[in-house]
Structure 1
Amino acid sequence: MEMKEKVMSSGHYLFDNKPIIVKAWTRDMEMTKDDVKSVPAWVQIHKLPLKFWGKGLPKIAGLLGEFIKCDATTEERTSLGYARVMVELMVDQELPAQIAFNDEKGLIIRVDIEYEWRLVKFKKCQGMRHEMEHCRKGNQGYAAKKIS
């Protein structure tokens, strides 16, 4: 029970950098798919000046989605190639390749964004990450759209 509580309370889970949904099982639970509105994802922020790697980083990451956390190397500043943050992304949002913000002097700072994982969503059924031949809405002949 202690391990179950730990798993259920920690919130975000990734397997192979892809989010997974964990729910407690009960005998009478409904085996229906939840309507997923958002997913956690690791994002790399390239060309970010070092002065923004502290308290400003959650605000900058917040331009993409809800900031969750930084990885250890970003927090400790042991690898300065890019800042790596986890953000909660809405499944239907556009994912920009670049964001811009103003620094303390009013100058526009532009940084490049790289997503370590992108959601694949089918056009007809709006389902996510299932095989097209198993789609109940008949996606045969419909291409999957990588959310970007």
Structure 2
Amino acid sequence: MPNGVFLVRFKSVEMKEKVLSSGHFLFDNKPMIVKEWTKDLELSKADVKSVPAWIRLHNLPIKFWGKSLPKISSLVGIYVKSDQATNERTRLGFARVMVEMMVDQLLPVEISFKDEKGEVVKVEVEYEWRPITCTIFQGMGHEGKHCKRA
């Protein structure tokens, strides 16, 4: 279908329900928005206000990789989950976290917070994927300079 929309038919209602309840989907580290089809469904990217994205938190001391991680991640977006290597602390170069971000929000390249001693901790934020938004119609998928509505 046009505009990057795909229709998927399931063999059973149970399989459809399983997919719809599974949460966030990414393809090539880019979010896929999954909706149940109805005859009145509007198929428009402009309706998307938030998307999941993986971020890497560099220079985050390992002592914050546990219960503190959702709170620290909330400085970028809404914490969804962390990856297995972060949970098991098997890759220590960075913590990898999925957050739900607004498509039109500013994406900080660094966040900072105070630790238990009152000292400021600065953490570099790397985005595995950044949403591209149109400044003309506020939708996703292209920049304003490439907007067909302009």
Structure 2 equivalent of residue 100 of structure 1: 112
Once the two structures are TM-superposed, the CA of residue 3 in structure 1 deviates from its matched residue by 1.4
Once the two structures are TM-superposed, the CA of residue 36 in structure 1 deviates from its matched residue by 1.2
Structure 1 equivalent of residue 65 of structure 2: 53
- 1:30-72 CA distance string (max 9 Å, x none): 3342611111000000001010011111110011111000000
Please tell me the residue identity of whatever aligns with 1:21. I
Structure 2 equivalent of residue 39 of structure 1: 51
Gaps of 5+ in 2: 1-12
> Within 2, Cα distance between the matches of 1:81 and 1:117?
19
Gaps of 5+ in 1: 139-148
Once the two structures are TM-superposed, the CA of residue 127 in structure 1 deviates from its matched residue by 2.8
1:74 partner SS: helix
Looking at secondary structure, tell me which structure has more strand per residue.
1
Structure 2 equivalent of residue 4 of structure 1: 16
User: Over aligned residues, Cα RMSD in angstroms?
Assistant: 2.0
> Within 1, Cα distance between the matches of 2:43 and 2:91?
43
> Within 2, Cα distance between the matches of 1:6 and 1:65?
26
Please tell me the residue identity of whatever aligns with 2:30. K
Answer yes or no: is the 8 Å Cα contact 2:134–2:147 preserved in 1. Answer: no
Aligned length: 137
> Within 2, Cα distance between the matches of 1:131 and 1:21?
19
> Within 2, Cα distance between the matches of 1:63 and 1:131?
25
Q: 1:135 to 1:98 in 2, by over 3 A?
A: closer
Answer yes or no: is the 8 Å Cα contact 2:60–2:94 preserved in 1. Answer: yes
> Within 2, Cα distance between the matches of 1:58 and 1:131?
31
**Is 1:29 paired with 2:36?**
no
Percent identity among equivalent residues? Answer: 60
What is the TM-score with the length of structure 2 in the denominator?
0.84
Superposed, which structure 2 residues align to 1:1-148 within 5 Å?
1-26=13-38, 28-33=39-44, 35-130=47-142, 135-138=147-150
> Within 1, Cα distance between the matches of 2:56 and 2:99?
10
Please tell me the residue identity of whatever aligns with 1:106. G
Range with bigger deviation, 29-38 or 61-70 = 29-38
> Within 2, Cα distance between the matches of 1:30 and 1:54?
40
